[in-house]
């Protein structure tokens, strides 16, 4: 087992004592960093960057060179799974991800393979191994996948969507097709994440970006039920260390209790949730991650510091909080503002851990 020089992220997830509140940022390796843009240019395009283990490692480590972050997150994309299933992922400038093939019928679902991580997504496993080796215990490495519902929305809609009308109509008209698709995706996500754990990921995050767009009962049926299966199917301990699992449903604040009952280690919160209230509802049972509005990073340093202070005070004393943004950092943010944010978390949080 590789010894970690900084394990406060893992300790906070397990609600063990820490010296300061750990912090990382969703999309911390991304377009707001000039060095990332240079590496992406070198790779040619986004998917070529994902598929080159050395370059994926380079961009994963870039934010750690700049900021005292408490975790690294694998550089990849949630859509690697549908791509490996043969749907033909490509990116349109200004349009985001698109698929050449979409899922319309039960026959389409039946034709999809269940993925073998080493065989079908070997480039991701190679990236995890490369990053884990390069990190050399500096901070923990987070692996991740999209939730089955979120992946299914892209596979049925053919890309991102404003209203999800195709998949929602399908969920109400022919739920058996959607459930068959979600079941297949769930099996693939479990083996994909377990592959990442065996390759060196020390924590796992499940990104349920679009679960919060469902009606309440539909969320429980089409999103959470499948994330529950993933939590049940993941490797819980590797090389003598617990592997924490973070569930993040954007706009999922109303389902925190149900999410906490899955047995996940932590819940990611977006900025529409009050952190203190969330802690009252579920916090003794489970750790919480979040939840500053990424737009705060466009403000001046005093405003950023004030918002960090407010969120820390809202959570209050004790372990079990991983500071993060409520969604990914946006491309136009000045990296200096991200530095103000990260330093403020460390400086202002010590008093909550004495």
Strand partners of residue 323: 23, 290
Q: Which residues belong to the active site?
A: 27, 31, 40, 77, 154
Q: Which of 305, 306, 295, 301 is nearest to 331 (CA)?
A: 295
Strand partners of residue 324: 291
Any known ligand binding at 179? Answer: no
Any known ligand binding at 94? Answer: no
Indicate if the alpha-carbon torsion angle 239, 3, 76, 55 is positive or negative.
Answer: negative
In sequence order, the 6+-apart residues with CB closer than 8 A to the CB of 238 are: 197, 198, 202
Give CA–CA dist 311/19, Å, rounded.
17
Any known ligand binding at 263? Answer: no
DSSP 142-156: EEEEE-HHHHHHHHH
In sequence order, the 6+-apart residues with CB closer than 8 A to the CB of 352 are: 21, 312, 315, 316, 317, 318
Alpha helices (H) in the chain, listed in sequence order: 8-13, 34-43, 46-51, 53-66, 80-82, 106-110, 117-120, 122-135, 148-157, 165-173, 175-199, 216-218, 225-233, 256-260, 275-282, 301-315, 335-349
Give CA–CA dist 99/156, Å, rounded.
9
DSSP 64-87: HHHS--S-EE----TTHHHIIIII
Any known ligand binding at 327? Answer: yes
Any known ligand binding at 215? Answer: no
Any known ligand binding at 272? Answer: no
Strand partners of residue 245: 204
Any known ligand binding at 208? Answer: no
Any known ligand binding at 302? Answer: no
Any known ligand binding at 279? Answer: no
Known binding site for substrate: residues? 27-31, 77, 154, 209, 327
Pick out the residues of the known binding site. Answer: 27-31, 77, 154, 209, 327
């Amino acid at each position: 087992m590789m010894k970690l020089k900084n394990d406060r992220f893992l300790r906070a997830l397990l609600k063990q004592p820490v010296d300061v509140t750990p912090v990382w940022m969703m999309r911390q390796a991304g377009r707001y960093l000039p060095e990332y843009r240079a590496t992406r240019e070198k790779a040619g395009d986004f998917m070529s960057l994902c598929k080159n283990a050395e370059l994926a490692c380079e961009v994963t480590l870039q934010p750690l060179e700049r900021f005292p972050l408490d975790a690294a997150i694998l550089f990849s994309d949630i859509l690697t799974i549908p791509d490996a299933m043969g749907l033909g992922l490509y990116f349109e400038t200004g349009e985001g991800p698109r698929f050449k093939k979409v899922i319309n019928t039960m026959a389409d679902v039946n034709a999809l393979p269940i993925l073998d991580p080493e065989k079908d997504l070997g480039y991701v496993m190679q990236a995890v191994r490369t990053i884990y080796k390069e990190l050399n215990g500096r901070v923990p490495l987070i692996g991740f996948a999209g939730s089955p519902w979120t992946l299914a929305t892209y596979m049925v809609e053919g890309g991102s969507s404003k209203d999800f009308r195709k998949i929602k109509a399908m969920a109400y008209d022919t739920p058996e097709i959607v459930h068959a698709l979600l079941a297949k995706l769930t099996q693939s996500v479990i083996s994909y994440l377990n592959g990442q754990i065996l390759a060196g990921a020390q924590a796992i995050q499940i990104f349920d970006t679009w679960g919060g767009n469902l009606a309440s009962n539909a969320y429980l049926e089409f999103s959470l039920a499948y994330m529950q299966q993933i939590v049940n199917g993941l490797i819980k301990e590797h090389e003598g260390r617990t592997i924490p699992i973070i569930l993040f449903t954007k706009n999922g604040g109303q389902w925190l209790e149900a999410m906490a009952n899955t047995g996940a280690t932590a819940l990611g919160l977006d900025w529409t949730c009050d952190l203190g209230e969330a802690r009252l509802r579920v916090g003794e049972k489970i750790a919480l991650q979040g939840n500053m509005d990424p737009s705060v990073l466009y403000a001046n340093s005093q405003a950023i510091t004030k918002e960090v202070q407010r969120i820390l005070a809202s959570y209050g004393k004790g372990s079990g909080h991983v500071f993060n943004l409520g969604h990914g950092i946006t491309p136009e943010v000045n990296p200096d503002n991200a530095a103000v944010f990260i330093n403020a978390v460390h400086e202002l949080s010590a008093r909550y851990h004495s």
